[in-house]
Amino acid sequence: MIKQHETDVVVVDPVSPDAAVIERAAELLRRGELVVFPTETVYGLGADAFQAAALEGIFAAKGRPLSDPLIVHVADDTMLENLTAALPDKARALARVFWPGPLTLIVPRGERVPHLATAGMETMAVRMPSHPVARALISALGSPVAAPSANRFMHVSPTTAAHVRADLGGRVPLILDGGPCSVGVESTILDLSAEVPTILRPGGVSLEALRTVLPDVRPPVKRASTSEETAQVAPGQLATHYAPTIPLLLFDGSEEAMRAAMLAELHQRLERGERVGVLLADADLEIFQTRLADAHKSQAFLASLGDAAHPAQVAARLFASLRALEETDVQVILCRNFAAHDLGLAVRDRLSHAAGGKIIQVS
């Protein structure tokens, strides 16, 4: 059953959050309630990680299956050491460089962590976020906070408090509004329980950066299917996990080829009277605008995700841009792909999910 709430949205300073607001949020967590808080990646739907009943509330509010485990967030080294005695050396080495920050490590489960948080597995996901509001909240609770992204199950992760309210309004008592999240895609999940450290989900820390510490880190294995098998290897990493509510066609190829194919597709659909959203890069925008016939201007919603040479910028705008198109009446989204370097790997992953795993290769 889903608990009904009057949802309070409270604005907090993202750099030095008001102590009284944080204390109010921490008190809710102590009482087993849920609190939504900003992190540097996306907003999280938090509960006291040691209260199993509170964790149940997370799954209910999101509509998330219990087979999909949660990330446990810590604020400092002491909390981390208390959480798990058996931290691998590799985890310590990575933590020194990337924590606090957008990296989640799969390590042996701490004894006090309820099975509900780990979906019954003997490993757990742990992360030390860098966002001052997240850190202040976890510190005030004095205990780790379990938190998935604060969206309804299968929806795009929220990067603003307004996104959260749209998905979870009426289902949580408090949303801390710290403004837009700076990274904009979720943390990188690195499996350290495997023989070779393997990325399960590319995210805010790039493969290149991880390899400066662990040169043998393996990139994510392609997961184009939604088979049971895939679900067991990497729970929650199904191909359709990040689906927006509108079908998205993803084009991949050279800059020239992507533009040509997207312009042709756009033209055809507009001719048929469809309303179309188009996600581009800065350099494409003017070209598309000039190629659009006046008669079609009201049917097309063009937006840029940023400078294609700066994948971090594209990542930061991605989810908000997808959600913005959901607020229009477009019937389909045409989207270009981006190069795989740095945060581009995460961008490609989320776009591929949004496209249901199908990519239109053009040459």
- Kindly list the residues in this chain that would bind ligand TXA in the complex (CB under 6 A): 39, 41-42, 44, 68-71, 102, 104, 106, 118, 121, 123-125, 127, 147-149, 186-187, 189, 200, 234-237
Q: How far is the CB of 265 from ligand TXA (least distance, A)?
A: 32
For residue 348, give the 3-state DSSP assignment.
Answer: helix
Report what 101 binds from Mg ion, ligand TXA, none; CB cut-off 5-8 Å by kind.
none
| Residue 42 site contact among ligand TXA, Mg ion, none (CB < 5 to 8 Å, cut-off depends on kind) | ligand TXA
Comparing CB distances to ligand TXA, the nearer of 121 and 309 is 121
- Beta bridge partners of residue 280, listed in sequence order: 304
Cα-to-chain-centroid distance, residue 74:
18
Q: Which is nearer to Mg ion, 79 or 185 (CB)?
A: 185
Least separation, in Å, of the C-beta of 320 and ligand TXA? Answer: 15
Q: Which does 159 bind (CB under 5 to 8 A by kind): Mg ion, ligand TXA, none?
A: none
In the complex, least distance from residue 135 CB atom to Mg ion, rounded to whole angstroms: 20
Backbone angles phi, psi at 232, to 5 degrees: -75, -35
Min CB(285)–ligand TXA separation in Å: 29
Shorter beta-carbon distance to Mg ion: residue 84 or 149? 149
DSSP 146-210: E--BSS-TTSPPPSSHHHHHHHHTTT-SEEEE--S-SS-SPPEEEESSSSS-EEEE--SS-HHHH
Helix (H) or strand (E) holding 262: helix 255-271
Given a contact cutoff of 8 angstroms between Cβ atoms, the answer to whether 147 and 46 are in contact is: yes
Nearer to ligand TXA, 189 or 362 (CB): 189
Residues 329-347 as b or e (16 or more Cβ within 10 Å = b): ebebbbbbbbebebbbbbb
**Residues at the site binding Mg ion, with contacts judged by CB under 5 A:** 149
Q: Which amino acid is at 296?
A: H
Closest residue to bound ligand TXA by CB: 236
Strands ordered across the beta sheet of 300-304: 300-304, 276-280, 332-336, 248-252, 359-361
- Residue 145's binding partner out of ligand TXA, Mg ion, none, with CB under 5 to 8 Å set by partner kind: none
CB closer to Mg ion out of 134 and 362: 134
CA dihedral of 327, 303, 154, 360, whole degrees rounded to 10: 130
The span from the CA of 161 to the CA of 320, in Å, is 11
- For the CB of residue 70, give the shortest distance to Mg ion in the complex, in Å: 10
| Residue 69 binds which entry of ligand TXA, Mg ion, none, CB below 5-8 Å type-dependent | ligand TXA
Q: Which option in Mg ion, ligand TXA, none does residue 74 bind, with CB closer than 5 to 8 A by kind?
A: none
Q: How far is CA 275 from CA 192, 271, 272, in A?
A: 46, 10, 9
Q: CB-wise, 133 or 305, nearer to ligand TXA? A: 133
Cβ–Cβ < 8 Å for 226, 352: no
Least distance in angstroms from the C-beta of 164 to ligand TXA: 11
Query: Between 149 and 159, whose beta carbon lies closer to Mg ion?
Result: 149
